[in-house]
Amino acid sequence: MKICTFEEIIAWQKAKQLTIEIYRVFRLNKDYGFRDQVQRASVSIMNNIAEGFERQSNKEFRQFLFIAKGSSGEVRSMLLLALELSYISKKEHDQLSALATDISRLTSGLIKTL
């Protein structure tokens, strides 16, 4: 099956879901620097997948996917910190971290197919 738009990419769909959840979970957090950074990192995942796809070059798409994968790691790192700082519950951490890990796995799969 040929993917025609970035919105069809499962990794992008899950990254959008992760971003919405990150915004929801941290919306009332008063640590503005932390909140902004974790939000930017999650947005970076979905935007790099979209931008890379739109470049219409496998080489450039791969490069943007590596950046998205890096941002997935950043989100997971920040979620661990959020847990340690009691910004989120263990359940929230586990759910969000699992989603970020899934996105990273899917992104790796895309990289390998290009």
Residue 71 to residue 94: CA distance in whole angstroms: 17
Residue 114 to residue 53: CA distance in whole angstroms: 11
Domains of the chain: 6-113 (1.20.1440.60)
In percent, how much of the chain has pLDDT > 70? 100
Q: Which residues contact 16 (CB under 8 A, 6 or more apart)?
A: 46
For residue 1, what pLDDT is reported?
Answer: 74
Write the pLDDT tens digit of every residue in 68-111: 999 999 999 999 999 999 999 999 999 999 999 999 999 999 99
Write the pLDDT tens digit of every residue in 25-84: 999 999 999 999 999 999 999 999 999 999 999 999 999 999 999 999 999 999 999 999
* Mean pLDDT computed over every residue of the chain: 97
Q: Which two tokens stand for residue 29?
A: 């957090």
Strands (E), the chain: none
Phi, psi angles (nearest 5°) of residue 68: -60, -40
For residue 14, what pLDDT is reported?
Answer: 98
CB atoms within 10 A of CB 3: 12
Residue 16 to residue 96: CA distance in whole angstroms: 12
